Amino acid sequence: MRHQPPSNRRGFSLMELLAVVTILGIIAAIIVPRVAASSEVAKQKTCVYNCGHIHSAVERYRDATGAWPSADLHEIDILEYFPDGIPVCPVSGAAYTLNVTGDVYRVQGHTDGNH
């Protein structure tokens, strides 16, 4: 009984697999930095949205009570303006605070102070 090699090969050669892996590596090298950058932009935009939403609650609190809440915003959390709790900054993970210096009361997010 003689063993004959099959004439119709099934599978891929090492060169074909190497070409596919190289192409996938190039595609990943192009896409991954863009996804990472867009993730950071999304976090920044979410922080801006959260600051606006929290500031709106601060304004409602001021209208209802006649006083500004404290810098840590715990009065707003107690009054259930945010039933799930005040969100945290998606950029830094820190709690939002109220800048109470001067006559301007603004909600601040991550540490750069711009939000």
Evaluate whether residue 2 is within a structural domain. no
Token reading at 9: 């090969």
Distance between CA atoms of residues 32 and 46, nearest Å: 21
Q: Are 59 and 107 in contact, with CB atoms under 8 Å apart?
A: no
pLDDT of amino acid 2: 62
- Domain hosting 54: range is 14-108
In the DSSP assignment, the letter for residue 108 is E
pLDDT of amino acid 79: 66
Evaluate whether residue 42 is within a structural domain. yes
> Residue 6, Cβ neighbours under 10 Å: how many?
6
pLDDT of amino acid 49: 92
pLDDT of amino acid 81: 77
Evaluate whether residue 25 is within a structural domain. yes
- Number of domains present in the structure of the chain: 1
Evaluate whether residue 44 is within a structural domain. yes
Give the tens place of pLDDT for each residue, 24-77: 999 999 988 888 788 888 999 999 999 999 989 898 888 988 888 888 888 887
Evaluate whether residue 78 is within a structural domain. yes
Evaluate whether residue 9 is within a structural domain. no
What's the mean per-residue pLDDT of the chain?
83
